[in-house]
C-alpha cells in the first residue's frame, strides 16, 4: 500500500470501521510513522468534536407530521389495481402500437419526440403517481432513455443506451411495480 493509500484510509481507522488486512496494514504504517500518528490523533479529535455537537431535530413534532401525511398515502406494494384495468391498459397499448406501425403515424402531440424516436423498441406506461426520482432510477438501472412521450394516453417510447441488452432492460422494467404495461418490438 502506498503512503497516499494509507493516508486515504486513515479516517476509517479513526472511525473504527477498517477491518482485516487493510486495518493491519494501516496500523503497521501508523506505528512506524510519527507524523501519521499525530494525523490519526487529529482525525480522532475532529470526529469526536463533530459527534459531541448538540443536534436539534424535529423529533416528535416531525413524527406527528409524518403520521398525518402517511395516512393519506399508501405504500406502493399495497396498491392493488383491479386486474380489469391492467388488462384494459395492455389492450389499449397494443392497439396504439398497432396503429402506429400500420399508419406510420405523425409525432405524438403533447409529448416530446427526438430524432430516431420512431425506432425506439420499448413502449411503456407508468403509474400516474410515480415520483420522478423513482422513474429516473428505474431508467438508469435498465439502461434506457426516453425517446418520446408521454403520449396523450401516457405512453413513453424508450430507447436502450449503447451496450444495453434489450431483453435485460425489459426484464428490469417489468419487475418495477409502477410499470403498468410494457411492449417490446420484435423487429429489434
Q: Which of residues 117-146 bind other proteins (CB under 8 A)?
A: 131, 133-134
- Sole binder of other proteins in the list 1, 23, 25, 43 (CB under 8 A): 43
In the chain, DSSP finds a helix count (H) and a strand count (E) of 7, 5
Binding mask 4-23 for other proteins (x = CB under 8 A): xx-xxxxxx-xxxxx-----
Q: Which stretch binds other proteins (CB under 8 A): 70-78, 85-93, 106-114, 157-165?
A: 70-78
Residue found under cell 416528535? 60
- Compare residues 13 and 120 and give the one whose CB is closer to other proteins: 13
- Compare residues 122 and 176 and give the one whose CB is closer to other proteins: 176
CB 10 within 8 A of CB 40: yes
CB 167 within 8 A of CB 158: no
Interaction of residue 69 with other proteins, rule CB under 8 A: yes
Tell me, by CB under 8 A, how many residues bind other proteins: 52
The Cα–Cα gap between 30 and 37 comes to: 6
- Sole binder of other proteins in the list 31, 66, 94, 152 (CB under 8 A): 66
Q: Which of 76, 160, 84, 150 is nearest to 113 (CA)?
A: 150
Interaction of residue 168 with other proteins, rule CB under 8 A: no
The Cα–Cα gap between 13 and 29 comes to: 12
CA dihedral 119, 121, 127, 131 (to 10 degrees): -70
| In the complex, minimum distance from the CB of residue 32 to other proteins, in angstroms, rounded to a whole number | 15
| In the complex, minimum distance from the CB of residue 155 to other proteins, in angstroms, rounded to a whole number | 23
Q: Phi/psi of residue 142, each to 5°?
A: -80, -15
* Residues making contact with other proteins (CB under 8 A): 4-5, 7-12, 14-18, 35, 38-39, 41-43, 45-53, 55-59, 62-63, 65-67, 69-71, 73-78, 131, 133-134, 176-177
Amino acid at each position: 500500500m502506498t503512503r497516499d493509500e494509507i493516508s486515504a484510509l486513515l479516517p476509517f481507522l479513526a472511525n473504527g470501521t477498517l477491518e482485516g488486512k487493510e486495518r493491519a496494514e494501516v496500523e503497521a504504517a501508523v506505528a512506524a510513522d510519527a507524523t501519521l500518528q499525530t494525523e490519526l490523533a487529529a482525525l480522532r479529535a475532529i470526529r469526536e468534536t463533530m459527534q459531541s455537537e448538540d443536534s436539534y431535530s424535529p423529533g416528535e413534532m416531525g413524527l406527528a407530521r409524518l403520521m398525518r401525511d402517511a395516512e393519506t398515502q399508501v405504500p406502493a406494494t399495497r396498491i392493488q389495481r383491479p386486474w380489469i384495468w391492467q388488462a384494459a391498459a395492455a389492450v389499449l397499448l397494443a392497439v396504439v402500437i398497432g396503429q402506429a406501425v400500420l399508419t406510420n403515424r405523425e409525432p405524438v402531440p403533447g409529448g416530446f419526440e427526438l430524432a430516431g424516436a420512431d425506432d425506439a423498441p420499448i413502449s411503456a406506461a407508468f403509474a400516474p403517481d410515480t415520483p420522478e426520482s423513482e422513474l429516473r432510477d428505474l431508467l438508469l438501472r435498465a439502461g434506457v432513455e426516453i425517446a418520446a412521450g408521454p403520449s396523450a394516453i401516457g405512453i413513453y417510447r424508450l430507447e436502450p443506451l449503447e451496450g444495453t441488452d434489450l431483453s435485460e432492460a425489459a426484464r428490469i422494467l417489468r419487475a418495477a411495480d409502477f410499470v403498468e404495461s410494457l411492449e417490446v418490438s420484435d423487429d429489434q
